[in-house]
Structure 1
């Protein structure tokens, strides 16, 4: 009886500690977001004359109106196009590469997998100059298409690493049953392996999507004109245009962050399912 009380007491204490830590993490995570949204509705000098966490005297929607009519829509369109094309290519290439590495047995499987994993250690920024020269020589410089290649290439190693681990968890009995019914490898990949890998691919889409949406270095290096730049450069240019108008900059940040928040809310169940189903097992 005493041991049961002690274990129950330890369990209660553990739950209390976990709850306190969760509340603390939530406060740390939400405080910058609340700060940003509150100040995006303030007048130009209201943030300086009053507390930064004080509610605005009135909701100043003119900040958002001016941002949306100031070229923000073009930045947003470019980001959506680059993100959509990059993710589609990335998921397809990663799935095609992960399938043989996870399900086939051949001599070069381990060396190829080791090389792909080793590519994860390459710092992205040391490739800026070669990628810049390549985009110039191919005529892609200062176009949104110059961003697709680097985004896909540098996301493939981590994606293949995660997706290979996920596909290895799929029971082989499913493939054996399909082979008995006359299902070929390609048909099995598209009709069975890909549908069963949806949680892992959703995890990759969210993880890589956030990185691509917020990427700054390649956009700054490979694009020059405003009509070909994406949202991270919009924040940079709006900051210069409205250097003394902090609420306006907060409005730009809020509009930039909003799509990722909505995407995470919609797909959070798939993200959790993908992570707990073995997508990050090594």
Structure 2
């Protein structure tokens, strides 16, 4: 027992050093992006990317907004919210039916969802393009939302089904004895007990939609339907010699997701630790 206590009280210098190295790798890119976005182009070119910040300015953000980046962010926000909401709205009833049903047909549908995890979006981009064009949705935000939701459903159903299996059967039986039907059981019992999993799925879907590049690139064309990932891609050419301007656009793109993570990290960690459990 005394040996265990001495081992527990002994400092783990190796783990501490590894944590510091990992922290440096994480902080260094963030520091460079923030520092460069607040420098003038002349200062950046004169002193190099690794120099300490001089002549701080917020003018780079104004240049980015003047080139229409606000419109790109609004389009991305619409796609992100719509994709996350629609995915959760479809995945939760499907996961509930999979967990509660004893039908072989439902089990087959669940296996079909799991098969979707092995299909990359790149392998289906031609059929998706044909479907979107025949539905007359090409060059619209809806053309981005629908395939994003489709490819987010398999993992969402898997996580939510794992969470719903953790709900005690006795609670279902007790509410059934009180006269609760299937719809009431789903919304009044299963939904509140799956908040961590729902948050995890929502954040996962929002991240996929916010960072999506393939579907916006193939399924949209006009500048009015452009999202921030395509905006960054175009800015890379426009700001080829203006690295601070490009870094300002990168910072604006990452900031909303960072803020969402700060407020939802507790639910995200809880959902991932339990594979979507309670």
Sort the TM-score into its range (normalised by shorter chain): over 0.9
1:52 aligns with 2:49: yes
1:51 CA drift (Å): 3.9
1:64 corresponds to: 61
The CA deviation string for residues 215-249 of structure 1, in whole angstroms up to 9 with x for no partner, is 11111101111110101001011111111111100
In structure 2, the residue matched to 1:248 is 245
Deviation of 1:110 (Å): 2.9
Q: Structure 1 residues 122, 278: closer, same or farther in 2, change over 3 A?
A: closer
Deviations 1:234-277 (A, max 9, x none): 10111111111111000000000000000000111111222234
Instruction: Choose the corresponding residue for 2:266, options 262, 269, 274.
Output: 269
**Residue 269 of structure 2 aligns to a residue in which SS?**
helix
Instruction: State the Cα distance separating 1:132 from its structure 2 match.
Output: 1.3
Counterparts of 1:35 and 1:208, CA distance in 2: 28
- Distance (whole Å) between structure 2 residues aligned to residue 102 and residue 18 of structure 1: 41
The answer to whether residue 88 in structure 2 is matched with residue 91 in structure 1 is yes
Q: How many pairs align?
A: 278
Q: 2:233 aligns with which of 236, 243, 247?
A: 236
What is the match of residue 193 of structure 2?
Answer: 196
Q: When the two structures are superposed, what TM-score results if normalisation uses the length of structure 1?
A: 0.93
1:15 Cα deviation after fit: 4.5
CA contact (8 A) 1:169 1:278 kept: no
CA RMSD in angstroms comes to 1.8
- CA distance in structure 1 between the partners assigned to 2:258 and 2:86 by the alignment: 23
Provide the TM-score with structure 2 as the length reference. 0.94
Moved over 6 A (4+): none
Structure 2 residue 27 is the aligned partner of structure 1 residue 30? yes
* Structure 2 residue aligned with 1:224: 221
Which ranges of structure 2 fall in alignment gaps of 5 or more residues? none
Aligned-partner Cα distance in 1 for 2:206–2:243: 27
- The gaps in structure 1 that reach 5 residues or longer are none
The SS at the match of 1:60 is coil
